[in-house]
Amino acid sequence: MSFVNENNPKILIDLDKCTGCLNCQLICSFTYHDIFNPALARIRIERTVDDDKGASFTDECLQCSICADYCVYGALSRTEVK
């Protein structure tokens, strides 16, 4: 089921398609901090040991949607045409 997070209504999230690759977190941190460090990303993908998944955006998210462009599995998609 797809949903949006209130901090970024421009991206639809479909966790059924998410593999946990963290490409989204890596590209966000590289874009805004010039370093590949998932901990600095403004999107957060979480997985529990029971394989439950979650996704959220921090208050610092600029809604640029670059992370969605780098989600090759289709778990993140723009709600608006570029």
Residue 6: both structure tokens together? 């209130």
Smallest gap from Cβ 30 to ligand SF4, in A, equals 9
**Positions of E strands within the chain:** 2-5, 8-14, 43-47, 53-57, 76-78
Considering the complex, state which of residue 20 and residue 37 has its C-beta at the smaller distance from ligand SF4: 20
- The answer to whether residues 12 and 76 touch, using CB atoms and an 8 Å cutoff, is yes
Phi/psi at 67 (5° precision): -60, -40
CA distance 56 to 51: 16
Smallest gap from Cβ 6 to ligand SF4, in A, equals 13
Considering the complex, state which of residue 50 and residue 59 has its C-beta at the smaller distance from ligand SF4: 59
Smallest gap from Cβ 34 to ligand SF4, in A, equals 14
Binding residues for ligand SF4, rule: CB under 6 A, are 8, 18-24, 28, 31, 42-43, 45, 57, 61-67, 71, 73, 75-76
